[in-house]
């Protein structure tokens, strides 16, 4: 939420008024202490002019948007069910996966809660060749 507000260069009270929510409620969303409802998140994206579903987003952001656990998206990426692009920057020497909202929605429609836990797990090997330069 903060990135959309800062893109518009608005204060928290002003952006909360545009969204039609109380300022205190918005403050918890802006700080990341509470999950943002999907309807409000879509409204904030539209206000900020970010309707592009092809924008690469970190998996925690996508997890909040889809209301799934971030580990679910990480597992889906390892299994090849979620199309991801790995960022060149690392966190604790691990590549950071990013995915588009369109890819996450496709994953949710096709794979989410449709496979049992005891399926064959054979993650594809991760190589530096698939990391964008």
Model pLDDT, residue 51:
60
Convert the pLDDT of each residue in 13-29 to its tens digit. 999 999 999 999 999 99
* Phi-psi region at 21: left, alpha or beta (left = phi > 0; alpha = psi -120 to 50): beta
CA–CA separation, 99 vs 85, rounded Å?
6
Q: What is the CA radius of gyration of the chain?
A: 17
Question: Beta strands 56-58 and 85-91: pairing type?
Answer: unpaired
Convert the pLDDT of each residue in 58-116 to its tens digit. 999 899 888 899 999 999 999 999 999 998 888 888 888 999 988 998 999 888 887 65
């Amino acid at each position: 939420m903060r990135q959309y507000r800062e893109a518009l260069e608005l204060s928290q009270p002003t952006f909360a008024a545009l969204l039609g929510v109380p300022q205190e409620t918005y403050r918890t969303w802006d700080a990341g202490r509470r999950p943002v409802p999907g309807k409000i998140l879509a409204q904030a994206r539209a206000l900020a002019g970010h309707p592009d579903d092809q924008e690469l987003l970190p998996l925690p952001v996508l997890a909040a948007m889809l209301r799934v656990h971030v580990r679910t998206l990480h597992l889906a990426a390892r299994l090849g069910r979620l199309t991801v692009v790995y960022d060149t920057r690392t966190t604790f020497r691990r590549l950071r996966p990013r995915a588009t909202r369109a890819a996450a929605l496709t994953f949710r429609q096709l794979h989410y809660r449709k496979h049992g836990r005891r399926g064959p797990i054979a993650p594809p090997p991760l190589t530096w060749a698939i990391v964008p330069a």
